[in-house]
Amino acid sequence: MSGPAPARDAMRRALVPLRPWLLTLGGVAIAAVYLFPVYWMVISSLKANPELFAAVPTLYPHAPTLAAFRWIFERENVGLYLQNSAIISFSVTALTLVLATGAAYALARTRTFWTAAMVVAIMAVQVLPPPLLVTPMFVIFRQIGLVNTQFAVILATTTKVLPFAIIMLRTSFAQIPVELEEAARVDGCPRFIAFFRITLPLARTGYIVVSSLVFLLAYGEFVYPLSLMNRKELQPGPVGLYSFVGADFADWSDALAFATVFVAPVIVLYMFLQRRIVSGLTAGALK
Amino acid sequence: MSISLRRPTDTTPWRMSRDRFLDSPTIWALLIGAAALFLLLLVGYPIAYNLVMSVQEVTLGNLPSFSRPWVGLENYRQLLADPLFLLVAKNTLIFTIANVAVQFVLGLGLALYFQLSFPASSFLRGLVLVGWMLPPLVIGAVWKWLLGSDSGFVNYALQGLGLISGKIYWLSDPSLSLLAVTIANIWFGAPFNMILLAAGLAGIPADIYEAAALDGAGPVRRFVWITLPLLRPTIYALLSLSTVYTMRAFDLIYTMTHGGPLDSSNIFPVWSYRMSFELFDFGGGAAIATAMFALVLVVALAYVRSVNAERPM
């Protein structure tokens, strides 16, 4: 609202070709500010102790060192935590996809009162917080002797991701015209085979998005392993990380090195699938 | 006619019955049933069990047995009488409202910004979404490090900008710890708000804006009269979802402050967890969880309703 209208218009006209690039610059600034904590974690993990705790922190490591990384792998057995994380997250992903596929397909292809009620129930289950569910789960698993097994953690974590997977996959299946399957069946292909030959390949993008998100959620799960297992050698990364940072006096160079190692696969996976995850989330996260 | 249309596979009786089975309503029931049974056993049963435990005295000693002393509403009575109750209720309320509100405003701002057409807009938006993908424990660790009183970057930056003179004890000052975990959780949740609002924005047809612009409506009026009303179903769904997800901030709080100091950052899920797994008062933990389940389900129903309003079933 400042300045006379003609001058303002002239300035605006001069800026028009520049506008998109200025906006990109703003976008880069936003992303940089937002991602600063991640950057700070990585560069802090590369600093040796005096530099790490310097009164005036250095914005990049002046004497970068991998000592903390060497230490956590050689002395703190971080490899085992990562291995447990991989076992648990892959099992959760596999179990979730097996259970979700049938349910999502059936819910996408039928429209009755009961399927609608099912979808509502699944949405409600999706939002139950693990810290509240874990009390009865612990007691139940304890009664059937499953406490202190990774199997218990896999089952518990699957309850957290399965509703989400069903809802997302249902959206993918619903987008595939049923006529394609019917055409194949007229040609003599049973529905079961038609599903695997035609529908499943067409739902590929949905599967990539769902399985990577399920994997990431399972990979980050903390409450269930923390409470359902107390043997250190079974624990996944988040519980291991907690043992580094949960105490009042954390050993920060080790803790940040561990956090960096633990988060690296997440960032790599996300970078590869970014576009698909974003479009998948915007298409089906709420529905 | 009918012969030429007959499917060749129908000739074997085995094929025929299998095909008929795979086409029958039974198969749908079986496919849904497997997942439903899983959720019933591992979510439905625990919720019911939780309700039972909340009216029992459950200790480490009687944990494996099924016969426990019934105490009626004693667990609930004790909770209400607990001096912590009001503090935790206040913390939960402040934490939830602050998170939902600030995350929404930030998310809307980000969504609107990245919706403008400029090079690399969707890539940059994707970068911001990374925060939501990270394991909560990592976020807790990073923010605990950033907010450290002695060598934390936040104190250094605030001092450098001349905003504070001394050190701020973000995590050990009872008057600041709730703010500290709120900041971290906002960082975590804002991208989720952004991406859902971006989806809502993308669903608004561009020609409505063009028509309004032709009629002389400026950007502010277009936002108030077109964007907000058309975004309303998304906003309702998002607000209820993010209210419920705030209850999951457990991981962050547990890592950064453990609910302390002096329970200044304790919220209901943390209290329930500590009651069960630190004090081994599983009945008390179950009572808090039951009350929270009721609350979560009310919000969840609001969420389901708003989603269904958006997309007729």
Chain A partners within 8 Å of B251 (Cβ): 222-223, 238
Determine, for residues B123 and A188 on separate chains, whether the beta-carbon distance falls below 8 Å: no
Q: What value does the mean pLDDT take over residues A260-281?
A: 86
Q: Which of A46, A135, A273 best probes binding to B when mutated, by most B CB atoms within 10 angstroms?
A: A135
B272, closest residue in chain A (CA to CA): A132
Determine, for residues B135 and A263 on separate chains, whether the beta-carbon distance falls below 8 Å: yes
Q: How far is CA B104 from the centre of its chain?
A: 13
Q: Identify which has the larger pLDDT, A155 or B220.
A: A155
Of B236, B209, B214, the closest CA to residue B224 belongs to B209
User: Does position A3 have pLDDT exceeding 60, yes or no?
Assistant: no
Determine, for residues A41 and B138 on separate chains, whether the beta-carbon distance falls below 8 Å: yes
Task: Provide the ipTM.
Answer: 0.87
Chain A partners within 8 Å of B288 (Cβ): 132
Determine, for residues A110 and B187 on separate chains, whether the beta-carbon distance falls below 8 Å: no
Confidence at residue B313, expressed as pLDDT on a 0 to 100 scale: 39
Q: How far is B79 from chain A (nearest CA, A)?
A: 16
Q: Which of A46, A60, A139 best probes binding to B when mutated, by most B CB atoms within 10 angstroms?
A: A139
Chain A partners within 8 Å of B241 (Cβ): 127, 286
Give first-to-last CA distance, chain A, whole Å: 42
Sequence-distant contacts of A22-25: CB under 8 A, at least 24 apart: A23/B113, A23/B116, A23/B118, A23/B121, A24/B118, A24/B119, A24/B120, A24/B121, A24/B124
Q: Does B106 touch chain A (CB under 8 A)?
A: no
- Other Cβ atoms closer than 10 A to A12: 10
> Rounded distance, CA A77 to CA A243, Å?
12
User: Does position B302 have pLDDT exceeding 90, yes or no?
Assistant: no
User: Does position B143 have pLDDT exceeding 80, yes or no?
Assistant: yes
Chain A partners within 8 Å of B127 (Cβ): 31, 34-35
Determine, for residues A28 and B133 on separate chains, whether the beta-carbon distance falls below 8 Å: no
Give the tokens for residue A154: 């896999």
Q: Domains (ranges, CATH) in chain A?
A: 6-65 (no CATH), 72-282 (1.10.3720.10)
User: Does position A81 have pLDDT exceeding 60, yes or no?
Assistant: yes
B41, closest residue in chain A (CA to CA): A159
Chain A partners within 8 Å of B124 (Cβ): 24, 27-28, 30-31
H/E segment holding residue A102:
helix A78-109
Q: Which of B20, B26, B32, B194 best probes binding to A when mutated, by most A CB atoms within 10 angstroms?
A: B32
The per-residue pLDDT for range A168-186, each reduced to its tens digit, is 898 888 888 888 888 877 7
Q: Which of residues 203-222 of B touch A (CB under 8 A)?
A: none
Q: Does B285 touch chain A (CB under 8 A)?
A: yes
Confidence at residue B5, expressed as pLDDT on a 0 to 100 scale: 45
Q: Does B39 touch chain A (CB under 8 A)?
A: yes
> Rounded distance, CA A165 to CA A100, Å?
6
Q: Does B286 touch chain A (CB under 8 A)?
A: yes
B58, closest residue in chain A (CA to CA): A139
Q: Identify which has the larger pLDDT, B177 or A67.
A: B177
SS3 B56: strand
Chain A partners within 8 Å of B146 (Cβ): 37, 40
Q: How confident is the model at residue B12 (pLDDT cuts 50, 70, 90)?
A: low
Determine, for residues B138 and A259 on separate chains, whether the beta-carbon distance falls below 8 Å: yes
Average pLDDT of every residue of chain A: 86
> Rounded distance, CA B246 to CA B96, Å?
6
Q: Identify which has the larger pLDDT, A29 or A51.
A: A29
Chains A, B: CB pairs < 8 Å: 316
User: Does position B103 have pLDDT exceeding 80, yes or no?
Assistant: yes
Q: Does B164 touch chain A (CB under 8 A)?
A: no
Q: Identify which has the larger pLDDT, B147 or B219.
A: B147
Chain A partners within 8 Å of B132 (Cβ): none
Q: What value does the mean pLDDT take over residues A56-62?
A: 83
Q: Domains (ranges, CATH) in chain B?
A: 82-308 (1.10.3720.10)
Q: Which of B18, B145, B238, B257 best probes binding to A when mutated, by most A CB atoms within 10 angstroms?
A: B145
Q: Judge contact between A194 and A184, C-beta under 8 A.
A: yes
> Rounded distance, CA B140 to CA A238, Å?
11
> What pTM, to 2 d.p., does this model score?
0.87
Nearest to B32 among A106, A129, A155 (CB): A106
The per-residue pLDDT for range A246-264, each reduced to its tens digit, is 776 668 888 899 999 999 9
Radius of gyration of chain B, Cα coordinates, nearest whole angstrom: 26
DSSP B70: B
The per-residue pLDDT for range A97-126, each reduced to its tens digit, is 999 998 998 888 888 888 888 888 888 888
The per-residue pLDDT for range B217-271, each reduced to its tens digit, is 888 888 888 888 888 888 888 888 888 888 888 999 999 998 878 899 999 999 9
Q: How far is B52 from chain A (nearest CA, A)?
A: 10
DSSP B120-145: THHHHHHHHHHHHHS-HHHHHHHHHH
